Amino acid sequence: MERRLTTILSADIVGYSRLMGIDEAGTLDEMKARSDTVTSPLLEKHGGRLIKLLGDGFLAEFGSVVNAVHFSIDLQSATESRNAALPEERQMRFRIGINLSDVIADADDVYGDGVNVAARLQSLAEPGGICISETVHQHVSRHLSYRFEDLGKQRFKNISGAVQVYRVKPNSNAYQASRRTKNDGHQASIVVLPFANMSGDPEQEYFSDGISEDIITDLSKISSLFVVSRNTAFTFKGQHVDIDQVANRLGVQYVLEGSVRKSGNRVRVTAQLIDGRTNGHVWAERYDRDFRDIFELQDDISRSIVETLKVKMLPAEVATLTQKPTGAAEAYRYYLMGRGFFHLGHTKRYLKLARQIFNKALEIDPNYAQAHAGVADCNSHLLDAGDSSISVEDILKQSEEALHLDPNLAEAHASRGLALYTAGRYDDADASFITAIALKPELFESYLFYGRNCLNRGRFEQAAELFGKAAELRNNDFRAHGLQSMCFQSLGRKDDAIAAARLSLARAEKAIAERPDDADALAFGAGILAFLGESGRTKDWAERAALIEPDDHYMQYNLACAFAILGERDLAMDRLDQALGSYSIKSLKEYMLSDADLDILRDHPRYKLLLQRLPD
């Protein structure tokens, strides 16, 4: 026996029991074929050693932590290539966990907490995904061009202390591939990092974020310029970064960074364009302007980048770049503020506040299409939460007005889709969501709303895919993975459901750490905790959510789901009765009939009586 520092990799086949149940002999043959033609050659290529097979997976050891991550990426890629030739029900996918730690080893095996942590990390990974510990992340983050998502500190059974976990993004090498494909003709490429808020007021964060997002949107309209997506760029928000490493990781030539300071009606923006290969400044400028000139300021930055990089623009792109969402800077400020509150959480308090601010924007500019869409979205959610002062007709009218004002606005089509979904016009809603995605493939709301439409119609496979895409596009959203878990539960894919639930919980925990009064995250997270079997934390989170938002009936419904999952049927029915107090009758019945969380209540006398009270 000897103690040594080594890299342990634990891999597990997703849905192994299901595959064996379908075709035991065929599954074993496929596993052997993959081991001989894929796993073993890749282990040899990357200097790995197979420690042992585990029936539904394997344990391996690497002398280099970098090689372990490279092996994992190559294995997942080769696995997907092989899956392409198989029917869906026969496809195999791995979950992988990697840990760097001291272990006790003999000639045939390794032992200790380091091995157990790798196995726990593997259980947290998504199908086709890879999770790593903090010790691994420290070694590889500066040397590999992959992206890493911080999943926060996780506690694992029989492991003392919390483990900081990171997910290696499954598509993390897509940026290098995209750069090679797009830049064969020497196409310029750029990432716009989130501009720093220098106003001394954290509540002005929405403004600096809005400017960054709009510059990304403007530059993305130029076909001869490759621009890294908003979601990827914002993973660097609030971090001190080395420009050359950011450029290398994302596969771009240039990095734009800057800061925003707003004081009264004056705004100061500094911006600098840096060559990621040399760390040299290519262009820099400071703008001191009246706030009313904010759109001209953004336009100046975009045009300066285009001119500096000598990017060619088509005439239509020149015209598009000069189009602005509103002619009133103050309306724009209110819109950004309202959007910030809308994304804070879907409690009545924040939805009403967001709607009030969107309406403030419309008082200044009644023709502001994005603000009309914002009001419609708030009203759709509020009606869903039982606000009887809102009618479906009002929501349809507001969303239609947004489309009338700007027929090519993706946000307007997504809003229209949500309004049609609320009205029960599900096929029409599908068409609107598809149009929104076509116009703006990285609009988070399109996928989330579309996923809800599919979920409530029993199209669980499609809904799971849409929720997965939504989760990729907004890495601080906890709902999408949670809803994806519900889909997997309905499909009987327990392993996938657990993996998605853990990802949802990690994001909810992060949201609560940042805002302890986030009742939305507490209530939603309570349901996730219940599904994962953490009864004590479920009840604690549910109590906290109810104390923060005692009159939010949408939240009461979520808490009913949490108690139902725990098997606390009477407590669940108490919450459902409270939810009915001012809940939209139509929405409540649709949720109750389609929600797998409530399956345990189907034969409860109070549940049956409640359904009888609800009209068809």
Per-residue pLDDT tens digits for 594-615: 777 888 999 999 998 888 877 6
**Helices (DSSP H) in 132-173: which residue ranges?**
134-140
Asked, for residue 236, whether it belongs to a domain, the answer is yes
Q: What's the CATH number where 238 sits?
A: 3.40.50.10610
Asked, for residue 515, whether it belongs to a domain, the answer is no
Measured CA angle at 83 (ends 77, 89), to 5 deg: 140
Q: Are residues 25 and 157 in the same domain?
A: yes
Q: Are 101 and 40 in contact (CB under 8 A)?
A: no
- Tell me what pLDDT residue 229 has: 80
Whether the per-residue pLDDT at 456 is higher than 90: the answer is no
**Helices (DSSP H) in 84-143: which residue ranges?**
113-124, 134-140
- Tell me what pLDDT residue 176 has: 36
- 110 versus 564: the higher-pLDDT residue is 564
- Tell me what pLDDT residue 220 has: 80
- What burial letters (b/e) apply to 249-279, b meaning 16+ CB within 10 Å? bbbbbbbbbbbbbbeeeebbbbbbbbbbeee
- 70 versus 224: the higher-pLDDT residue is 70
Which of 8-22, 286-300, 354-368, 458-472 is the most confident on average? 354-368
Quote the CA–CA distance of 601 and 239 in Å, as a whole number. Answer: 47
Q: Are residues 84 and 12 in the same domain?
A: yes
The residues facing 273 across adjacent strands are 256, 283
Q: Are residues 232 and 188 in the same domain?
A: yes
Asked, for residue 157, whether it belongs to a domain, the answer is yes
Read off the pLDDT band of 1 (50, 70, 90). low
- Tell me what pLDDT residue 263 has: 81
Question: Is residue 251 helix, strand or coil?
Answer: coil
Q: Are residues 156 and 291 in the same domain?
A: no
The set of residues, in sequence order, having a beta carbon less than 8 Å from that of 94 and lying 6+ positions away, is 11, 12, 13, 14, 57, 75, 76, 79, 127, 128
Q: For the residues 111-120, what does the mean pLDDT come to?
A: 88
Whether the per-residue pLDDT at 396 is higher than 80: the answer is yes
- 254 versus 83: the higher-pLDDT residue is 254
Among 147-151, 308-312, 578-582, where is mean pLDDT lowest? 578-582
Work out whether the CA dihedral 474, 477, 478, 482 comes out positive or negative. negative
Asked, for residue 104, whether it belongs to a domain, the answer is yes
> Residue 236 burial (CB < 10 Å; 0-12/13-18/19+)?
middle
Tokens of 419: 């309004």
The set of residues, in sequence order, having a beta carbon less than 8 Å from that of 581 and lying 6+ positions away, is 386, 553, 556
Whether the per-residue pLDDT at 216 is higher than 60: the answer is yes
Domain extent, residue 52, equals 2-168
Whether the per-residue pLDDT at 145 is higher than 70: the answer is no
- Tell me what pLDDT residue 186 has: 47
Measured CA angle at 188 (ends 183, 194), to 5 deg: 120
- Give the residue from 134, 168, 202 where a domain finishes: 168
- Tell me what pLDDT residue 314 has: 63
- Tell me what pLDDT residue 322 has: 67
Report the 10 Å Cβ neighbour count for 117.
Answer: 24
Measured CA angle at 13 (ends 11, 17), to 5 deg: 140
State percent of the chain over pLDDT 70: 92
Q: Are residues 269 and 382 in the same domain?
A: no
Whether the per-residue pLDDT at 393 is higher than 90: the answer is yes
Q: Are residues 56 and 151 in the same domain?
A: yes
- Give the residue from 129, 145, 168 where a domain finishes: 168
Q: For the residues 431-449, what does the mean pLDDT come to?
A: 86
Q: Are residues 35 and 114 in the same domain?
A: yes
- Tell me what pLDDT residue 551 has: 77
pLDDT digit string, tens, across residues 545-557:
989 988 777 788 8
Quote the CA–CA distance of 268 and 266 in Å, as a whole number. Answer: 7
Q: Is the pTM of this model over 0.85?
A: no
Asked, for residue 539, whether it belongs to a domain, the answer is no
Q: Are residues 244 and 259 in the same domain?
A: yes
- Tell me what pLDDT residue 227 has: 86
pLDDT digit string, tens, across residues 154-194:
888 778 778 899 999 744 333 333 333 333 334 688 999 99
Q: What's the CATH number where 423 sits?
A: 1.25.40.10
Among 230-239, 281-290, 517-526, where is mean pLDDT lowest? 230-239
State percent of the chain over pLDDT 90: 37
The set of residues, in sequence order, having a beta carbon less than 8 Å from that of 343 and lying 6+ positions away, is none
Read off the pLDDT band of 566 (50, 70, 90). very high
Which of 103-107, 193-197, 287-291 is the most confident on average? 193-197
Asked, for residue 298, whether it belongs to a domain, the answer is yes
Among 315-329, 399-413, 516-530, where is mean pLDDT lowest? 315-329
Read off the pLDDT band of 143 (50, 70, 90). low
The closest of 138, 251, 236 to 193, measured between CA atoms, is: 236
- 522 versus 597: the higher-pLDDT residue is 522
The total of structural domains in the chain comes to 3
Report the 10 Å Cβ neighbour count for 113.
Answer: 18
The closest of 520, 206, 477 to 346, measured between CA atoms, is: 520
- Tell me what pLDDT residue 151 has: 86
Asked, for residue 218, whether it belongs to a domain, the answer is yes
Q: Are residues 90 and 75 in the same domain?
A: yes
Q: Are residues 9 and 122 in the same domain?
A: yes
> Residue 218 burial (CB < 10 Å; 0-12/13-18/19+)?
buried
- Tell me what pLDDT residue 177 has: 34
The closest of 235, 453, 213 to 339, measured between CA atoms, is: 213
Q: What's the CATH number where 26 sits?
A: 3.30.70.1230
- Tell me what pLDDT residue 183 has: 39
Q: Are residues 348 and 420 in the same domain?
A: yes
- 600 versus 30: the higher-pLDDT residue is 600
- Give the residue from 290, 324, 358 where a domain finishes: 324
Quote the CA–CA distance of 250 and 229 in Å, as a whole number. Answer: 10
Cα–Cα distances (Å) from 258 to 193, 212, 245, 394, in that order, read 8, 9, 17, 41
The closest of 224, 210, 229, 215 to 271, measured between CA atoms, is: 215
The closest of 544, 547, 476 to 514, measured between CA atoms, is: 476
Q: Are residues 60 and 8 in the same domain?
A: yes
pLDDT digit string, tens, across residues 338-375:
998 998 877 888 999 999 999 999 999 999 999 999 99
- 430 versus 83: the higher-pLDDT residue is 430
Say which residue the tokens 């103050």 belong to.
330
At 151, give phi and psi (nearest 5°).
-95, 5
Asked, for residue 187, whether it belongs to a domain, the answer is yes
